[in-house]
């Protein structure tokens, strides 16, 4: 079944200049044609979007959606002046272990649906609230049923009943063996209070030996080795990048490792916002993602991240939209999403606005008008 989308007020494809006289044809789950409206081919159906802006669906390359429970109290304490501590993760670990598979699946389904309704069409999510072989395996299997990309984050926190040494041994051996068939990526929280440089390197190296791609949580709560390690091991992405030295920026600029910025997390944890300008001006590839999780960043709104990136991080609207679409795809090493070109996945976001500028000009206003995900019209 093919669909011709006409009446596009402004088309952002990430595959050429923005155009104002364009049409798009989707055929099944693929983009079949992009070009001037006057040359558009016939299709089985036509949808006139009446001057609205069209762009690729958001690619949210960093979320933690396999969880149970709530951390409202921790958030309240933070807003009253308490610092964010990685140890809060243990609260979600206890609730997640106690939840049934059906409860975890329901949470996943609800959050994916919430994200899609706001224009997100490709999602990564992580394990990391199980921290036993059985619970991490269950998280990986559940995640694989609901999202496009799954990362194993057994190295999220050392559980309170184990020594760091024993836990790293477990992650690098039995746990990785169990989850590897169900995930594409391995991630590690390389930060004071979580895993240090040597421990992180051990986990990432063991994952790489099993053929997994690598991602790193790094430089979130202070300066540290995360970026250096990610670049050394050719990780696809290093996420947070809130505290970067000049040498970290240079390393990112000279590598294919994407700097994934998570402004909603920095706001919710009262951290400074990352220096996106320095990264972009020096040639690093930047992605924006929500980091949706119940502790440090409980939002599924990519539009909110885009608005913050423009209003508070001095990214242009074009840079922010690109980072939230193509940047996310690059962080996931995918060339079929985050772009509207022939052969790409039919992931299309129609804004209820004439241009992408409205994403920052009208922050907080729900601007999603229609979403095709994999060629399926999810919302109108």
Greatest Cα pair distance, the chain, in angstroms, is 67
Tell me if residue 5 falls in helix, strand or coil.
Answer: strand
* Smallest distance from ligand NIG to CB 362, Å: 27
Q: Which residues contact 72 (CB under 8 A, 6 or more apart)?
A: none
Q: Which residues contact 6 (CB under 8 A, 6 or more apart)?
A: 23, 37, 40, 46, 47, 48, 49
Residue with smaller CB distance to ligand NIG, 27 or 197: 197
Options 84-92, 139-147, 177-185, 282-290: segment touching ligand NIG (CB under 6 A) = 84-92
Residue by residue, DSSP assigns 261-274 as E-HHHHHHTTPPPP
Choosing from 4, 25, 64, 241, the residue that interacts with ligand NIG (CB under 6 A) is 64
* Smallest distance from ligand NIG to CB 44, Å: 43
Residues between 242 and 281 with contacts to ligand NIG, criterion CB under 6 A: 265
Residue 129, marked binder = yes
- Indicate the helix (H) or strand (E) that contains 120: strand 120-126
Q: Do 255 and 231 contact (CB within 8 A), yes or no?
A: yes
Options 22-30, 85-93, 143-151, 358-366: segment touching ligand NIG (CB under 6 A) = 85-93
Residues between 88 and 107 with contacts to ligand NIG, criterion CB under 6 A: 88-89, 92
Helix crossing, 133-146 with 89-98: angle to 10°?
Answer: 80
Residue 182, marked binder = no
* Smallest distance from ligand NIG to CB 144, Å: 20
Choosing from 52, 78, 138, 217, the residue that interacts with ligand NIG (CB under 6 A) is 217
Site string for ligand NIG, 153-192 (x = CB under 6 A): ------------------------------------x---
Closest CA to 307 of 350, 260, 261, 361: 361
> Can you tell me the distance from the alpha carbon of 126 to that of 361, in angstroms, rounded to the nearest whole number?
32
Residue 156, marked binder = yes
Options 7-15, 165-173, 230-238, 288-296: segment touching ligand NIG (CB under 6 A) = 288-296
288 phi/psi in degrees, rounded to 5 = -115, 140
Alpha helix positions (H), 61-155: 72-79, 89-98, 101-116, 133-146
* Smallest distance from ligand NIG to CB 258, Å: 16
Q: Which residues sit in the known binding site?
A: 62, 64, 71, 129, 156, 217, 220, 291, 293, 295-296
Q: Which residues of this protein are in contact with ligand NIG, per CB under 6 A? A: 64, 88-89, 92, 189, 217, 220, 265, 291, 293, 295-297
Residues at the binding site for Zn(2+) are: 62, 64, 217, 291
């Amino acid at each position: 079944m093919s669909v011709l989308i006409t009446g596009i007020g402004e088309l952002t494809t990430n595959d050429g200049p923005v155009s104002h006289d364009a049409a798009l044809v989707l055929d099944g789950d693929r983009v079949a044609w992009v070009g001037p409206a006057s040359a558009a081919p016939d299709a089985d159906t036509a949808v006139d979007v009446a001057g609205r802006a069209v762009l690729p669906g958001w690619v949210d390359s960093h979320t933690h959606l396999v969880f149970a429970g709530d951390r409202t109290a921790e958030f309240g304490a933070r807003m009253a002046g308490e610092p964010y501590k990685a140890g809060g993760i243990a609260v979600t670990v206890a609730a997640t272990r106690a939840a049934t598979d059906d409860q975890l699946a329901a949470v996943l389904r609800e959050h994916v649906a919430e994200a899609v309704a706001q224009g997100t069409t490709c999602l990564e999510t992580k394990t990391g609230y199980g921290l036993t072989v059985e619970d991490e395996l269950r998280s990986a299997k559940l995640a694989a049923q609901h999202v496009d990309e799954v990362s194993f984050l057994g190295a999220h926190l050392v559980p309170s009943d184990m020594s760091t040494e024993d836990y790293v041994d477990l992650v690098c051996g039995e746990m990785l063996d169990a989850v590897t068939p169900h995930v594409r990526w391995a991630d590690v929280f390389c930060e004071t209070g979580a895993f240090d440089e040597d421990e992180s390197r051990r986990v990432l190296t063991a994952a790489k030996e099993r053929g997994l791609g690598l991602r790193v949580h790094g430089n979130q709560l202070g300066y540290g080795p995360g970026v250096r390690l990610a670049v050394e091991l050719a990780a696809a992405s290093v996420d947070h990048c809130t505290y970067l030295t000049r040498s970290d920026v240079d390393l990112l600029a000279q590598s294919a490792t994407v700097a994934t910025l998570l402004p909603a997390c920095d706001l919710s944890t009262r951290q400074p916002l990352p220096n996106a300008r320095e990264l972009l001006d020096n040639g690093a590839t930047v992605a924006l993602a929500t980091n949706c999780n119940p502790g440090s960043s409980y939002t599924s709104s990519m539009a909110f991240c885009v608005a913050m990136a423009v209003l508070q991080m001095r990214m242009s609207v074009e840079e922010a939209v690109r980072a939230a679409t193509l940047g996310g795809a690059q962080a996931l090493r995918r060339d079929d999403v985050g772009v509207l070109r022939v052969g790409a996945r039919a992931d299309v976001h129609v804004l209820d606005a004439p241009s992408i500028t409205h994403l920052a000009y009208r922050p907080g206003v729900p601007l999603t008008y229609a979403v095709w995900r994999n060629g399926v019209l999810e919302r109108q």
